Structure 1
Amino acid sequence: MANSLFTASAADLTIERIRAFAARPDQVESLTLEFKREYSTSLVKTIAAMANTYGGTILVGINDKAEPGIERVVGVDAQATIDKIASTCSEKLDPPWEPTFITVPFDDDSGRSVVVIRVGPNVAPRPLLIDLKAPIRLSGQNSIADRGRLLQLAREEPAAGLLPMGQSVMAPRLNQDKDGKATEDFILRTGINLPMGEAGAWRPLSERSVIALAKALNDSAFPSALRTLGQGAFDQFMGFRPYGHNRSRTARLVFQAISRAPVPNPVEAVVTVNLPEVYGSASTALTANVIIDVIARVRRYADSIETGREYRYPVPNLADLLDGLLRTLVAPEVVTEIARIADIDTALVAQPRELHLIADRQVKDLLNPAGLKEIPDAGASAGGIFRANPALDLRDIAERQEQVDDWLRQLGLDAGLTGMEALVEDYRAKTPTMA
């Protein structure tokens, strides 16, 4: 789910977070999100429609549109509202079923709350009927499943169509030369899984869609972040373009820093789009994935030109890289092109929730030691898996920076280093906020 309220724990759902969520100008009703000012009988139809499609979140106590001078978050009497919804679900849904309710109280003495309703299609019986009809969810509205869709719902397994909320990706592997030595300083990997629309599952990738994605990537924050990784030492770059293994179901877009040194590409990024192979598959829950690898060889480049000193990666450069990477994966232009390739609503393009780092040596020997101090007998770390906080909406500047800072703190602690927290705070104090 694109909205963070679907995956956040109940403890993380505060009225401040919900107000900030509703205040975003781009936060409109979609395939997986709906606002309701108060209880109405149509609300239960929306529950069934989301259950029969990709699931979603309904926020009761919020006006569906943000209008100047009108408070959007108005709240409801939580218990009375939940009782009405539960009663109607029992009476109208076939078979009877209830979603998950979470009450988020106001921070005053009004007694009002926002009711967060979570509809998970992996736990709802499918098809879920109302008056012998199966509602389904389209972009921001409900419709009725036709005969073909109804038969598909009846055949689906309980968890069909639902992506794992962890959005896990496989860990990368360092390449090796003929002597068995790694050829990279480190590889950073993240990615997302995607459901496939009916057309997207069968048609091959088009050249136009791949080029459009490459343009969106080149216009994003990603290239600038990659240049920062090299500390401005490289003045020639090749932007994202199809390179290497590209097929009808696979697109591979590559960005490279260019050097005449023995290390020709000190910084490289590879974005790979993999569509599922549908031929011979009986599955109704086909998924695609987008994998992003950042490949760093700056240390090897510095060694190859005999700089006379050992190069280590400054923490601020890694912070810029992580922030640029996350900004890119939630950028509307990039999300739109990914959704177009998969033939899905942009609301179904999930935010990245996992990051892998694998290095050719201990992380403490990879980082610039300025401001860092080793913890005695702390053990070794050559990378790790970094989970994202599902309560954070990475489109929000402050929340994205919070995630980057958390990852950097984990990187330092896992490497047996102290001082990372102070470095991060100093970096934030000196760095202007970037949208």
Structure 2
Amino acid sequence: MNTSLFAASAADLTIERIRALAARPDQVESLTLEFKREYSKSLVTTIAAMANTYGGVILVGITDKAEPGTDRVVGVDAQDTIDKIASGCREKFDPPWEPAFIPVPFGDGSGLSVVAIRVDANTAPRPLLIDLKAPIRLSGQNSTADRDRLLRLAREEPAASVLPMGQGLMSPQLGVDNEGKSTDDFVLRTGINLPMGDAAAWRPLSERSVDALAQALKGSALPGALRNLGQGAIDQSMGFRPLGHNRARTARLVWQAVGRRPVEHPIEAIVTVNLPQIHGPGSAAPVATITVDVVSRICRYAGSMGNTSWEHRYPLPDLVVLCDGLLKALVDPGVVEEIARIADIDTALVAQPRELHLIADRPVVELLPSAGLKEIPGAGTSLGGIFRANPVLDLRIAAERQEQVDDWLRQLGLDAGLSGMEALVERYRATTTPSG
């Protein structure tokens, strides 16, 4: 699902954003996205099909195929197009319903616009019928629900939280030793929730699919970000592999930096795949969860080495690289493809991460370098928090991912009762460029 288009406010849904989407060579029609050059009767069927499946966005005024050197964004008369679509919905849909329409003008005096149609499966009646049939959405095309699918649609509650998947993760917990004392400096968690296809709802995880996900993670930006967090002191690591609690519907893939006793693993990353246990038919669609936990023990590792010259704080650049690596890994095409294969869904339904959880064993101010930061008198302390993402941002785009990371760091500083984080972030960005 292109969540940036679905979640953007009308003011943020600009023609520049739409042109950028249409120009992406990897952006094709999918379960949740369709381009239409102009109004046609089939457009109403597509609206119903999306409403009966996962929802989506239809952009009218864009050709579905582009010739080399031509602009896909051709535009339409917005009011005439909306009137035709609304009329078709009133005439065809049982029960009556219509989606949201947002005209996005070219702004060049031509009078042309792209009409964005948002189909929200959470608000649409289910099933939405046309001529006593229920259209459904397959990969980039429409089909018709068979008897079993129609019965499921009739039993289903609205597809709660399918489109904004990615929020509602459980907060992580710090590890503790036999005496109940924390073994970690902090744990950082992000992840996604996602719907499941019919096959994934009953089949167990296969060793092949779990291994393929591990290989995709090894090739992502995450291992490099983890090694960077070690400030050059970590030169050995063990790549993502099954470790710990792995079951038929749970996979746990672990990356570990190799240290020495008593802190054998100064950094760990744990990717957990949880498919829901199915106990008979239910009214709500099953939801899978993918979480990525980064567990850092660098301060403890430095202390155990007795190296007083090593800074026992986490520099801003390392935190930037870590957060960027986490997000970049979860939108990496290879990782997304393997997640989609496990859940038996289209890659378009693999949400982007929209939450970051941090829990620390000490006040956050004690984890950050003091240079450039100043404690605000009486501001109190913070042991972490939950940081929401801006749903308008497309985290596949380096500049927008950078914007999100910067927002999180500014919030981290403010929640810790510190001033100066905004200036530090600006100075850092002035000397770097977004990485793809």
Q: TM-score, normalised by structure 1?
A: 0.97
Cα separation, partners in 2 of 1:3 and 1:23, compared to 1, 3 Å: farther
Q: Does residue 397 of structure 2 align to residue 401 of structure 1?
A: no
2:159 match: 159
Question: Percentage identity across aligned positions?
Answer: 74
Q: By how many angstroms is 1:364 displaced?
A: 1.2
CA distance in 2, matches of 1:412, 1:339: 35
Of the structure 1 ranges 13-22 and 217-226, higher mean CA displacement relative to structure 2 is found in: 13-22
- Counterparts in 2 of 1:21-420, with a 5 A limit? 21-159=21-159, 162=162, 164-165=164-165, 167-309=167-309, 311-420=312-421
Higher mean C-alpha deviation, range 75-84 or range 50-59: 75-84
Give the drift of 1:102: 1.3
Change (3 A) 1:280 1:126: closer
Q: Which amino acid aligns with 1:407?
A: W
Structure 1 unaligned segments of length 5 or more: list them: none
Letter of the structure 1 residue corresponding to residue 51 of structure 2: A
CA RMSD between the two structures: 1.5
Answer whether contact 2:2 2:33 (CA < 8 A) is retained. Answer: no
2:13 corresponds to: 13
- Deviation for aligned residue 1:414: 1.3
**Secondary structure class of the residue paired with 1:201:** coil
- Kept in 2: contact 1:7–1:165 (CA 8 A): no
Structure 2 CA distance for aligned equivalents of residues 323 and 346 of structure 1:
21
- AA aligned opposite 2:142: N
1:284, distance to aligned residue in structure 2 (A): 4.5
In structure 2, distance between residues paired with 1:41 and 1:163: 26
**Shift of the alpha carbon at 1:196?**
0.9
Question: Are the structure 2 counterparts of residues 164 and 107 from structure 1 closer, same or farther at C-alpha, using a change threshold of 3 Å?
Answer: closer
Task: Provide the secondary structure at the position in 2 that maps to 1:294.
Answer: strand
Q: Deviation per CA, 1:335-356, whole angstroms, max 9, x where unpaired?
A: 0000001111111100000110
1:200 match: secondary structure: coil
How many angstroms apart in 1 are the aligned matches of 2:316 and 2:179? Answer: 31
Q: Which amino acid aligns with 2:101?
A: F
Q: Residues 12-50 of structure 1: CA distance to partner in whole angstroms, max 9, x if unpaired?
A: 211111111221111110000001111111110000000
CA positional deviation for 1:194: 1.2
Q: Offset at 1:180?
A: 2.8
What amino acid does structure 2 have at the position aligned with 1:176?
A: V
Describe the SS at the equivalent of 1:194: strand
Runs of 4+ in 1 over 6 A off after TM superposition: none
Q: CA offset at residue 166 of structure 1?
A: 5.4
Contact 1:161 1:195 in 2 (8 A): no
Letter in 2 for 1:174: L
Q: Report the CA distance between 1:252 and its aligned residue.
A: 0.1
Distance 2:91 2:280 in 1: 41
2:387 & 2:68 partners in 1: Cα distance? 40
In 2, the alpha carbon distance for the partners of 1:146 and 1:289 equals 29
User: 2:166–2:351: 8 Å Cα contact kept in structure 1?
Assistant: no
Query: What's the offset of the Cα at 1:93?
Result: 1.2
Pairwise CA distance, 1:64: 1.3
Amino acid at match of 2:40: S
Deviation at 1:261, TM superposition (A): 3.4
Indicate if the aligned counterparts of 2:89 and 2:97 stay in contact, CA closer than 8 A: yes
Would you say the 8 A contact 1:163–1:193 is kept in 2?
A: no
Say which is worse superposed, 194-203 or 307-316, in terms of deviation: 307-316
AA aligned to 1:204 is: P
Which deviations, in whole Å up to 9, do the C-alpha atoms of 1:181-230 show, x marking residues without a partner?
Answer: 21110000011011111111111100000000000000111000000011
C-alpha distance 95-283 of structure 1, shift in aligned 2 (>3 A): closer
**Residues in 2 aligned to 1:162 and 1:396: alpha-carbon distance in whole angstroms:** 23
TM normalised by structure 2 equals: 0.97
Amino acid at match of 1:395: R
User: Structure 2 regions of 5+ residues with no counterpart?
Assistant: none
Find the aligned partners of 1:66 and 1:170 in 2 and give their Cα distance. Answer: 43
* Segment drifting more, 285-294 vs 106-115: 106-115
Post-superposition shift, 1:135?
Answer: 0.8
Change (3 A) 1:365 1:66: farther
Whole-Å separation in 2 of the counterparts to 1:17 and 1:161: 25
